[in-house]
Amino acid sequence: MKTNILYPLIILLFNPWLATADDHAQISLFFSPHGGCEATIINSIDAAELQIDVAAYAFSSKPIARALYAATKRGVQVRVLLDRRQPNAHYSMANDLTINGLEVRVDRKEPLMHMKTMILDSNTLILGSYNFSAAAENRNVEILAVINSKELAAEATANWLKHWNHSIPHNATANPNIGKTQLASETVCRTYIYPLKPSRKFFRSRLRRTIQWY
């Protein structure tokens, strides 16, 4: 019964996209916390064969970052568009993605790049209130829609490209928070260590930490 009530809300939320959807568009809904959103996103990434375009207001999910990295290793083109706050945000994957060779841009033109979207193989559109973060998966009340429609994917891509084209490439090495970077082996992602010792009083984003993807 709850799902039936939510469908009209989803239609209102995603207009005008859904208003122009073809009759054969398939829509699946997922909810959090612990409703399968992250697993659905990762499965969709794993199934992609050609291209994945991402727009993320917040991106701190290591499992999703790992899935995108794995996609690039099998030849999928991955482009990630982030909000201006992400490069310096605590636990953000912005630097990790860039260091590991993914194409990342930061939208510094708009006051807020608030989209949470993935477009996969020009056919599948993922969107909703769900940020790509552990909080969205484990704590927050969120909704995620997976839409299979070439028409809607094309509309979303046109809007995504408008922001991608005016955004600035992210340069992780220019970030003062980054320490040494090394590649452990051909099968292991790079790691970096924040140069400062832990402190509860001094900028949480600069706390010493090691990010090990695998």
pLDDT value at residue 185: 30
- Which tokens is 154 given? 């094309």
φ, ψ for residue 189 (rounded to 5)? -70, 165
In a domain, 208, yes or no: no
Could you report the per-residue pLDDT of 78-134, keeping only the tens digit for each? 999 999 999 888 889 999 999 999 999 999 999 999 999 999 999 999 999 999 999
Give the pairing of strands 168-169 and 181-182. unpaired
In a domain, 186, yes or no: no
In a domain, 101, yes or no: yes
3-class DSSP assignment, residue 91: coil
Q: What is the pTM (predicted TM-score) of this model?
A: 0.73
Could you report the per-residue pLDDT of 168-197, keeping only the tens digit for each? 999 866 654 443 333 223 333 333 333 333
Measured distance CA(99)–CA(156) in Å, rounded: 27
3-class DSSP assignment, residue 56: strand
Comparing 66-80, 84-98, 145-159, 194-208, which segment has the lowest mean pLDDT? Answer: 194-208
Q: Is residue 34 annotated as part of the catalytic site, yes or no?
A: no
In a domain, 61, yes or no: yes
Q: What would the mean pLDDT of 23-52 be, rounded to a whole number?
A: 93
The catalytically annotated residue of 53, 83, 107, 116 is 116
pLDDT value at residue 197: 36
Q: Which residues contact 18 (CB under 8 A, 6 or more apart)?
A: 10, 11, 25, 27, 147, 152
In a domain, 48, yes or no: yes
Q: Is residue 24 annotated as part of the catalytic site, yes or no?
A: no
In a domain, 192, yes or no: no
In a domain, 160, yes or no: yes
Q: Is residue 121 annotated as part of the catalytic site, yes or no?
A: yes
Query: Structurally, how many domains does the chain consist of?
Result: 1
Asked if pLDDT for residue 34 goes beyond 60, the answer is yes
Asked if pLDDT for residue 6 goes beyond 70, the answer is no
In a domain, 213, yes or no: no
Give the domain extent around 26.
2-176
The catalytically annotated residue of 34, 90, 109, 114 is 114
The catalytically annotated residue of 62, 121, 150, 163 is 121
pLDDT value at residue 9: 44
